[in-house]
Amino acid sequence: MVEIKNLNMDELKEFVKELGFEPYRAKQIAQWLYKKRVKSFDEMTNLSKRARELLSRKARIDVLKTVKVEESSDGTRKYLFELSDGNRIESVFIPEKDWNTLCVSTQVGCPAGCKFCLTAKDGFTRNLTAAEIVDQYIHVQRDVGEERRISNVVFMGMGEPLLNFDNVKKAVEIMTHRDMLDLSTRKVTVSTVGVVPGIDRMAKEMNKVKLAVSLHATTDEQREKIVPLNRKWPIGEIMRALRRYPADNNRRIMIEYVMLKGVNDSLEDARRLVKLIKGIPVKVNLIPFNSYPGAPFQPTPREDIEKFQKVLWDHNIAAFIRDSRGQDISAACGMLRTKEKKSA
Ligand code: SAH
């Protein structure tokens, strides 16, 4: 059985050819899948009945099942999906005034093990396929309705995207292809904990979409305590990778920095951060730590985050404080966790 949403446009063309269809059928099928978002081949009414039957025997459309949807008081919606092997993942829909963002997961669990992140606690189970990533978009778009089009996608849900490079790359191709989901490449952001070989690959193979890097600290000693992967790819190596990355002022790299009270939030940290990023086209996103029961860290008070931000501003660095959305339904940054087991 072919998972048809695992195929990018070239692969879909190839598949259509193998079935003995005319080449133009690939585009028609893509339109049914990604523009009309049908659930079955039977609905593809401009294909012959025979063609539809053949497709139904050879390929499958939906790979996710929606288990639960929760809506926050601020309109954020959190989705719990079940994969065909029973594993579960979450996605978050974040409505804004002029656009809508979807935060997608790329792995079941995560191998990075960041100390402040709730997903990390469940360990790592497996990579998601491209179809499982793309299907998060399709299911949420169907649910919120066409008048609330998802215009932005951030790869900031569960998992480390650059440790699942091939599938993430394919999902990005499907999301940004004109005949498929047709998102603007500038509205797709891939966020990494700092997987240096992945950043270098992104520079070559995926540099049209935006890169975000979870730096979170300004010395290796500090960073090792909260981001264990720092031992493998320390700050110096990450910064070198960012310096060779094809970025400019119109395509800036986003530096993410979660503010942990007394750990990485001093004004000295802010000044060290200024030095680290000097000369790299970046914008800095300061993320208020979203706490949870038993969390080993405290959030930095708002006024201290603002003081930190001011140091960056004083050095002409674009720095923003990220809004915490969907906190009441545990949908905010780093709060995704699907420990709850399937009821037997
Ligand atoms: N693995 C990728 C993407 C997933 S997490 C990465 O590390 O970038 C998306 C962002 O949320 C990361 O910057 C992550 O460090 C941050 N995050 C994780 N847990 C958090 C928490 N409890 N509060 C605030 N931000 C958190």
Residue with tokens 């797709």: 188
Percent of the chain with pLDDT over 90: 92
CATH no., domain 64-343:
3.20.20.70
Residue 329 has a pLDDT of: 86
Q: Is the pLDDT of residue 343 over 50?
A: no
What are the structural domain ranges in the chain?
A: 2-60, 64-343
CA of 113 to the centre of ligand 1 (A): 11
CA of 290 to the centre of ligand 1 (A): 10
CATH no., domain 2-60:
1.10.150.530
User: What is the rounded CA–CA span in Å between residue 83 and residue 293?
Assistant: 28
Q: Predicted confidence band at 339 (pLDDT cuts at 50, 70, 90)?
A: low
Mean pLDDT, all residues of the chain = 96
Q: Are 141 and 37 in contact (CB under 8 A)?
A: yes
Q: Is the pLDDT of residue 175 over 90?
A: yes
User: What is the rounded CA–CA span in Å between residue 131 and residue 83?
Assistant: 11
- For a substitution probing ligand 1, which of 287, 291, 322 has the most ligand atoms within 8 Å of its CB? 287
CA of 324 to the centre of ligand 1 (A): 12
Single out the residue of 334, 328, 292, 341 nearest to residue 88, CA to CA.
Answer: 341
User: What is the rounded CA–CA span in Å between residue 275 and residue 279?
Assistant: 9
- For a substitution probing ligand 1, which of 89, 108, 116 has the most ligand atoms within 8 Å of its CB? 116
Model confidence pTM above 0.85: yes
- For a substitution probing ligand 1, which of 121, 153, 193, 223 has the most ligand atoms within 8 Å of its CB? 193
Of all protein residues, whose CA lies closest to atom 19 belonging to ligand 1? 334
User: What is the rounded CA–CA span in Å between residue 24 and residue 163?
Assistant: 35
- Mean pLDDT over 109-128 rounds to 95
- Mean pLDDT over 267-277 rounds to 98
Helices (H), 127-247: 130-144, 165-176, 196-205, 220-226, 235-244
User: What is the rounded CA–CA span in Å between residue 123 and residue 337?
Assistant: 11
User: What is the rounded CA–CA span in Å between residue 337 and residue 326?
Assistant: 14
Atom of ligand 1 nearest to the CA of 256: 13
Q: For 160, what's the count of Cα atoms within 13 Å in the CB-facing half-sphere?
A: 23
Residue 335 has a pLDDT of: 81
User: What is the rounded CA–CA span in Å between residue 197 and residue 203?
Assistant: 10
29 lines ligand 1 (CB under 6 A): no
Higher-confidence residue of 288 and 331: namely 288
CA of 221 to the centre of ligand 1 (A): 19
**Residues involved in catalysis:** 90, 333
Atom of ligand 1 nearest to the CA of 292: 22
Residue 291 has a pLDDT of: 92
Single out the residue of 160, 114, 89 nearest to residue 339, CA to CA.
Answer: 89
290 lines ligand 1 (CB under 6 A): yes
CA of 256 to the centre of ligand 1 (A): 8
- Mean pLDDT over 133-145 rounds to 98
255 lines ligand 1 (CB under 6 A): no
Residue 340 has a pLDDT of: 57
**Coil, strand or helix at 29:** helix
- Mean pLDDT over 159-179 rounds to 98
Residue 23 has a pLDDT of: 95
CA of 216 to the centre of ligand 1 (A): 9
